[in-house]
């Protein structure tokens, strides 16, 4: 009879059995997956690990940058001259538009005051460079070289010279992640520039965009431009987003509308992060010396009281 207090010799101890350990690890992983995908609880852990591995990832991104720079260096002279001429032409075009813009903005502000409307929200912007696209094959995201330190926040719009490119979805201390508008899970509230028809635009994951939930008999045709409506409170209204490529009306209650992005989504290397910055506190009124009324009250002021 073996005695009840028989014990294994420590040499033969194996610890927890591998199957049990596997089960424990799988449980931990599943819990983490659900916590991250469903509830976004793990953002702080991700941020911590991202900061920890930042030097490693920065080093790893170097060879790709090197290849990019080398291709740029060896691109031929004619190409550079062509680009230069193109930039000069654009510069002149933009200069005259800018000159008019200053004047129009003043006029617009004046008219808005006369109508008793709220002043347009001013924006501030951060220029950033696209470092690389995220390796995850399921999503269309890129990493920018500016982060929390430069005032980048989740939810801000990312544009290039032609139009909207994406939205900031994650911010790390030195980098930030942009979900491009072509990503399947990215939606932008838009309106048709021609007639103001509202809609929600989503990515298809294949490089094109789809305007969803627009009634089949709506006044929309191929060639219309879509701009942000600003109804989400995050994007500045009026940013160009996409051009409608095809409209199919006979697909049930809603039309099937395919659009192509205007901005260089997945191509542009220099982008601008636009934020709807809060207005700076207005200077005190020179006549009374009192600070002006806060904005919600200011909208109710009579037009005659405007002192300019």
Nearest to 274, CA basis, from 216, 243, 228 = 228
| Rounded Cα gap, residues 163 and 198, in angstroms | 18
The residue among 141 and 234 lying less far from another protein, judged by its C-beta, is 141
Q: Evaluate whether 114 touches 308 at the Cβ level (below 8 Å).
A: no
The residue among 1 and 37 lying less far from another protein, judged by its C-beta, is 37
The residue among 49 and 198 lying less far from another protein, judged by its C-beta, is 49
Q: Evaluate whether 176 touches 152 at the Cβ level (below 8 Å).
A: yes
Q: Evaluate whether 154 touches 168 at the Cβ level (below 8 Å).
A: yes
| Per-position b or e across 138-168, b if 16+ CB within 10 A of its CB | ebbbbbbebbeeeebeeebbbbbeebbbbbb
Q: How far is the CB of 169 from another protein (least distance, A)?
A: 10
Q: How far is the CB of 136 from another protein (least distance, A)?
A: 4
- The encoded tokens of residue 204 equal 């298809």
- The encoded tokens of residue 195 equal 């007639």
The residue among 56 and 253 lying less far from another protein, judged by its C-beta, is 56
> How crowded is residue 254: how many other Cβ atoms within 10 Å of its Cβ?
14
Binding site for another protein (CB under 8 A): 18, 21-22, 25-26, 28-30, 32-33, 35-37, 42, 45-46, 49-50, 53, 56-57, 59-61, 63-64, 131-139, 141, 143, 177, 184, 205
The residue among 178 and 247 lying less far from another protein, judged by its C-beta, is 178
- The encoded tokens of residue 134 equal 């995220």
Q: Cα–chain-centroid distance for residue 285?
A: 37
The residue among 56 and 98 lying less far from another protein, judged by its C-beta, is 56
Q: How far is the CB of 64 from another protein (least distance, A)?
A: 5
Q: How far is the CB of 140 from another protein (least distance, A)?
A: 10
Q: How far is the CB of 76 from another protein (least distance, A)?
A: 24
The residue among 36 and 232 lying less far from another protein, judged by its C-beta, is 36
| Rounded Cα gap, residues 144 and 131, in angstroms | 6
Q: How far is the CB of 29 from another protein (least distance, A)?
A: 4
**DSSP code for 185:** T
Nearest to 160, CA basis, from 190, 128, 131 = 128
| Rounded Cα gap, residues 58 and 46, in angstroms | 17
- The encoded tokens of residue 265 equal 């989504």
| Rounded Cα gap, residues 151 and 179, in angstroms | 18
Q: How far is the CB of 37 from another protein (least distance, A)?
A: 5
Q: How far is the CB of 200 from another protein (least distance, A)?
A: 18
The residue among 62 and 302 lying less far from another protein, judged by its C-beta, is 62
């Amino acid at each position: 009879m073996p005695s009840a207090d028989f014990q294994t010799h420590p040499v033969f101890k194996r610890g927890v059995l591998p199957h049990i350990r596997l089960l424990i690890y799988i449980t931990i992983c599943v819990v983490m997956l659900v916590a991250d995908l469903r509830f976004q609880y793990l953002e702080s852990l991700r941020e911590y690990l991202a900061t920890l591995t930042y030097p490693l990832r920065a080093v790893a991104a170097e060879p790709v940058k090197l290849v990019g720079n080398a291709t740029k260096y060896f691109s031929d002279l004619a190409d550079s001259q062509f680009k230069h001429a193109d930039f000069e032409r654009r510069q002149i075009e933009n200069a005259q538009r800018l000159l008019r813009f200053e004047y129009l903005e003043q006029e617009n502000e004046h008219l808005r005051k006369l109508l008793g409307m709220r002043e347009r929200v001013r924006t501030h912007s951060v220029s950033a460079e696209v470092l690389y696209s995220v390796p995850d094959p399921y999503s269309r995201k890129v990493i920018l070289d500016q982060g929390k330190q430069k005032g980048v926040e989740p939810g801000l719009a990312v544009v290039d010279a032609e139009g909207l490119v994406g939205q900031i979805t994650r911010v790390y201390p030195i980098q930030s992640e942009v979900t491009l508008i072509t990503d399947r899970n990215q939606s932008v509230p838009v309106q048709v520039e021609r007639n103001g028809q509202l809609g929600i635009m989503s990515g298809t994951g294949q490089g094109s965009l789809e305007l969803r939930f627009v009634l089949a008999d709506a006044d929309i045709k191929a060639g219309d431009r879509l701009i942000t409506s600003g109804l989400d409170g995050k994007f500045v209204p009026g940013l160009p987003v996409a051009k409608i490529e095809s409209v199919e009306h006979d697909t049930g209650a809603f039309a099937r509308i395919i659009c192509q992005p205007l901005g260089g989504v997945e191509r542009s290397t220099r982008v601008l992060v636009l934020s709807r910055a809060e207005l700076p506190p207005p200077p005190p009124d020179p006549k009374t010396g009192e600070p002006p009324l806060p904005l919600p009250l200011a909208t109710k002021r009579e037009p005659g009281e405007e002192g300019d």
